[in-house]
Amino acid sequence: MNINLQFHSTGKRTELNFDETDKIELIKNSIRIMEGINPQEQKLIFDGKVLKDTSTLKSCGIKDGSTISVLFEKSSNFLK
């Protein structure tokens, strides 16, 4: 199924293909490859809820054509 990723920091929108049984951590790894941002610094939001890495797309209610918001958070290491 096709999933839209909306990057709030840049306004960029990307469509990627995943299976409903794929976990959120797979999406985060795809974002790491595309954007160079570590998964620990990513926050994915769908339907007003922060998505957990171990959840599947299906268990989050994500369907073909859904849009997931992507936010980047600086880790505490950057503050040192």
Q: How confident is the model at residue 9 (pLDDT cuts 50, 70, 90)?
A: confident
Give the pLDDT confidence of 34-56 residue by residue, as tens digits: 999 999 999 999 999 999 999 99
The CATH number of residue 22's host domain is 3.10.20.90
Neighbouring CB atoms inside 10 A of 8's CB total 12
Q: Could you list the residue range(s) of the whole structural domain that residue 18 is in?
A: 2-79
| CA pseudo-torsion sign 72, 37, 12, 56 | negative
Tokens matching residue 55: 């959840």
Q: In the chain, how many domains are there?
A: 1
Q: What's the pTM value of the predicted model, to 2 decimals?
A: 0.88
Q: What residues contact residue 7 under an 8 Å CB cut-off, 6+ apart?
A: 13, 14, 35, 70
Residue 74, CB-side half-sphere exposure with 13 Å CA sphere: 5
